[in-house]
Structure 1
């Protein structure tokens, strides 16, 4: 298993271990979620966090690969 695969696996494990009890909703989404009930509101919140973190993971992976390919050997 390469270093990149190991880091990706660690990030995925961290993503699933961290609780999704963060408040990621704007005021409109909060009002909508309050009307839906507790369980759908938690699912909406988890979806917002997932959609927000996905670009960071992709850009981080691309940056890591770029850094690995351009690293100067001593």
Structure 2
């Protein structure tokens, strides 16, 4: 079984020297980079259109749902 290196040797050495605060910042930035590379995004209008097709979800309830989703996405 072949394992891909996630962290190269130089990065590993830098991580070993980091304190907790610097490591936290590094992990958050690294995670953002990985998510950006995957190119995953959410199309909110398309999501809203699909949710509106669900039986029992009216306009008012849909607005409440979209508000919660946008809150979690920081939109």
**TM-score category of the 2 structures, normalised to the smaller one:** 0.3 to 0.5
Structure with larger RCO (C-alpha < 8 A, sep 6+): 1
| Structure 1 or 2: more helix by fraction | 1
- Higher radius of gyration, 1 or 2: 2
